[in-house]
Amino acid sequence: MQLSERITQLTGDGSDGWDVFYRSRQMVADGEPVIELTIGEHDIRTDPSILEAMHKAAIGGHTGYAMVPGIKSLREAVATRIQERTGVPTSYKNILISAGGQAGLYASHTAVCNPGDRALYLDPYYTTYPSTISGVAAIPVPVQTHTEDAFQPRVEDLDAAAAGATSLLINSPNNPTGTVYSRQTLEGIADVCKRHDLWLISDEVYDTQVWEGEHISPRALPGMAERTLVVSSMSKSHAMTGSRVGWICAPEHVIERLIDLATNTTYGVAGFIQDATEFALGQGVDLEEKVAEPFRRRRALAKDILAGQNTVGLIPAQGAMYLMLDIRATGLTGEEFANRLLDTQMIAVMPGESFGKAAAGHIRVAMTIDDNHFAAALKTLCTFAQAIAENR
């Protein structure tokens, strides 16, 4: 007997650039003092008030099956949040509560892609994007962006790839680059989607982490609400990564079909988690800003540190909890640099190659340790890079 091609071909063969992450985790497990600047996990944890609400709901008995589409009051709270922030009329019928953003991405592609369809995504990309598309038996098609454009996608590149495609997946604020797509960029993306009749899947999990510019949901642009599925979650905005709760916002007829899918896959999200989510959303922007503030602060620290040298280049870090750094002046690939940095300085970062071809020669640094240790690690990284560059 054999496993299905869909599961065996979910990821490609060979190194995907994550070897340095797994190696650093093993070093930590072995007791070595590695400074981890790898994944997007907050150094603070879920706010105690949210945990108290979760505990109260669980002890109160909300541990049985919950409504598969999501508790109506939570769906209404999400719809209200979206309508207030985008101006687009939104009701609970436009919302499905999902088991985190990743489940939302998979469900969204299941909803709009048939087996063999070409599904576009932008490079650099969050690591699961191509395998999410492969997982629904569609064909992942990367569209490269460019460091000289601060990784804002070009309309002509999208147009060239879009003929015959079914969907386009975007992410702004962007992981891994920190780029926030401008209104001009998003209007260009919208035009491509309408011109080629594409579904747009917009990953907006970092919408509360914007340091420059503004977050614009493409669903709010003319003619886009009927062709856009927005995926978001509580993971980044409320430091609820392990709670696995998010949502999809889409046209009503899409949500109706996604409810059918959820009935046959996740069967909904735990009721006590949903109650805590509704409580968290009810705390408004003050809690979101509290969660985001450390990354805003560390970004400012990083800009000051990087301004004092000329070896490591900073891609404008407009949003999210990461820095994309250009280390091509060292003559090393991102993987080579990251491995040498780990071996000699005990600092773990992600190679740009982990996120696609467009980020080759870059590294991604997560701003996820306390300010003093973060500043010290970044200074060490710059000194290390400068020494390599000088000895080329």
Write down which residue in 259, 283, 307 finishes a domain.
283
Token reading at 363: 């590294």
Any domain includes 278: yes
Distance of CA 102 to the CA centre of its chain: 9
165 and 24 within one domain: no
Q: Which of 155, 125, 159 is nearest to 140 (CA)?
A: 125
Residue 279 and residue 294 share a domain: no
Mean pLDDT of the chain: 96
Beta bridge partners of 249: 95, 230
Residues 219 and 326 both lie in one domain: no
Same domain as 318, residue 242: no
- In terms of domains, do 73 and 187 share one? yes
Amino acid 202 reads S
The pTM score is 0.96
Specify the number of domains making up the chain: 2
pLDDT at 371: 98
Of 283, 311, 334, the domain-final residue: 283
Same domain, 261 and 114: yes
Looking at the domain assignment, is residue 50 inside a domain?
A: no
pLDDT at 10: 84
Question: What is the pLDDT, as a whole number, of residue 14?
Answer: 52
CA distance 36 to 58: 34
Q: Structural domain of residue 319, as residue ranges?
A: 5-45+286-390
CATH number at residue 359: 3.90.1150.10
Same domain, 126 and 79: yes
Name residues of the chain where pLDDT drops below 50: none
Number of H helices, E strands in the chain: 13, 12
pLDDT for the residue 239: 98
